[in-house]
Structure 1
Amino acid sequence: MTTFTEYNLDPKQFTFLNHLQENWQVIRDEFTNFKNQASEEELQFSLDVMGPKNKTIKTKGNSKYSAFGVLFQGIFIEEYIRVHQIKYPQYDLQDVPEKAWKLRERYFPRLSSAIGKTNELTDNILRNVYFGTFHPGLDVKLHVNYNPHTNRGYLGLIVPQGDVAMKICHDRLYWHEGEFLVLDHSYPHCPHNYTDYDRTVLVVDFFKTDKPRAEVNKFEQELVKERMQENPYSLGVFGKNDKVPAEDFVKYGLSHQLEWEKAL
């Protein structure tokens, strides 16, 4: 039986995630159909425009993490680009928001519908929804995600057997297809994929339910403004403040030292 903690949260308490989880196979099929049917230009566009770019979180070695999605800070991708007036020089002659909208409508209608229905019933509790793929050999260095106003859910879509896990504090947690793993990702963590296959999840950031909505809304607005000034291609998801403070390295090391001593 899973033991839940202050950083590994019981998904059952977040009932608004049920609609996404119940449709996980449809969402997975939309993802695989896009990867198999989209043109090279569409695939590249999704990574260039529809995925949050991160300049802070580092990986060991050359293996990479790829991401693209449809919702950022509670706004569908095409509207987010318009609101923040993001410029993409490589697509200077194209209507980028229009192209993003057409791609979302063509390939991800069921995912978009599930998000819309959930947010309609919950006063826009879902903030970011995107596909995250760990490529074989990925090993992400210890980091935090400085988003104290949100929790992060990972809905397993394609999870290979083997050593693909999230190390957070002194726990090693695993993804499972069709299930949510919900974390408070402000705790130091470092995921990896030591298998020979891609691992893909649907990343779902949502407002913490134990905080007043006005408070988390205000915090998000201030944080996103800062991050968009730092790097508009982050889509407000990542920022310089995601670096792990020195004291967190110490706490992380001590927690593992206790486990090592216990094992010995």
Structure 2
Amino acid sequence: METFNEYHLNSAEFPFLETLQDNWLVIRDEFKHFINNASPEEIKFTYEVLGPKSKTIKTKGNSKYSAFGILFQGLFIEEYIKLHHIKYPDYGTNDASAKALEIREKYFPNLAKVIEKVNFSNEDIIRNAYFGTFHPGLDIKLHVNYNPHMNRGYLGLIVPEGDVAMKICHEQLYWHEGEFLILDHSYPHCPHNYTNYDRTVLVVDFFKPDKPRAEVIQFEQEQIAQRMQDNPYSLGVFGKSDKAKEEDFIKYGLAHQLEWDKAL
């Protein structure tokens, strides 16, 4: 029987995620179809424009993490680009928005429909939806994701056997295909992929249902304004506050020390 706590949450508490989970094979097939059939130009554009970029979260060595998505802060990517007037080295705002819409409609129509269905019935509760891939050897340094108004769900799409896990507090948690792993990412954590294969999930950030909606919307607006000013290519997902503080390292190390002492 799986146990849950303040940072590892039971997906059954969030029934609105069932629609996404029920469609996990369709979502995975769309991702695979894109990876296998998109042109080099489409691939380049997607990872350059549709992927949230972080200046704070670091990896160990040369291992890589790649991501791209279609929904950010409750808006489809083409709307988000226009709203924030994002300009890219190779694309103007209007060109980037038009191309983003073209990619979304061509490769991810079913994912978009599922998101629209969930958000229509739940007051736009889903804020971000993007594919995250851990490439072989990935080891991300300890960090936090300062989003106290949201939880983060990982829907397993392609999960190889072996040591690919999320280390958070004193636990090591694992992804499973077709299932959600729900975390409160304000706790310090560091994931890794020590297998020889890619691990891909659909990352779904959603408002904490127990918090007043007006309160979390106001917080999100203030946070996004700051993050977009610091780094428009973050798409509002990452910010300077994601950097782990000294007390996070102490807390993380102490949790492990207590587990080691208990085991001994």
Q: TM-score, normalised by structure 2?
A: 0.99
The change in CA–CA distance for 1:101 and 1:93 in structure 2 (over 3 A counts) is: closer
SS in 1 for 2:197: coil
Change (3 A) 1:80 1:124: same
Once residues 157 and 120 of structure 1 are traced to their aligned partners in structure 2, the CA distance between those partners, rounded to angstroms, is 24
- Report the Cα offset of residue 216 of structure 1: 0.2
Instruction: Please give the secondary structure, in 1, of the residue aligned with 2:165.
Output: strand
Kindly state the Cα deviation for residue 60 of structure 1 after the two structures are TM-superposed. Answer: 0.5
Code of the residue aligned with 1:19 in structure 2: it is T
- 1:100 alignment partner in structure 2: 100
1:20-59 equivalences under 5 Å are 20-59=20-59
Deviations 1:230-254 (A, max 9, x none): 0000000000011112111111111
Displacement of 1:261 in angstroms is 1.5
Counterpart AA for 1:262: K
Q: What is residue 236 of structure 1 aligned with on the other side?
A: 236
1:4 aligns with 2:4: yes
CA drift at 1:91: 2.2
1:220 aligned onto 2:220: yes
Count of matched residue positions in the alignment of Structure 1 and Structure 2: 264
Q: Which amino acid aligns with 1:12?
A: A
Confirm or deny that 1:61 pairs with 2:61. Answer: yes
Give unpaired runs (5+ residues) of structure 2. none
1:27-74 deviations in whole A, cap 9, x for unaligned?
000000000000000001110000000010011010010000000000
Aligned ranges 1:176-191 → 2 under 5 Å: 176-191=176-191
2:93 & 2:134 partners in 1: Cα distance? 32
Q: 1:263 Cα shift? A: 2.1
Hey, what's the Cα distance between the residues in 1 that align with 2:245 and 2:148? 15
CA distance in 2 between counterparts of 1:235 and 1:79 reads 12
User: Which letter does structure 2 place at the counterpart of 1:101?
Assistant: L
Question: Residue 204 of structure 2 corresponds to which residue in structure 1?
Answer: 204
Give the SS at the match of 1:90: coil
Q: What is the CA-CA distance between 1:262 and the residue it aligns to?
A: 1.9
C-alpha separation between the residues in 2 aligned to 1:84 and 1:92? Answer: 12
Q: Secondary structure at the match of 2:90?
A: helix
Change (3 A) 1:93 1:4: closer
Task: Please tell me whether residue 143 in structure 1 is matched to residue 127 in structure 2.
Answer: no
Q: Offset at 1:260? A: 1.2
8 Å CA contact retained: 2:26, 2:110: yes
Q: How far apart in 2 are the matches of 1:184 and 1:158?
A: 22
Give, in whole Å, the separation in 1 of the partners of 2:132 and 2:4.
24
Runs of 4+ in 1 over 3 A off after TM superposition: none
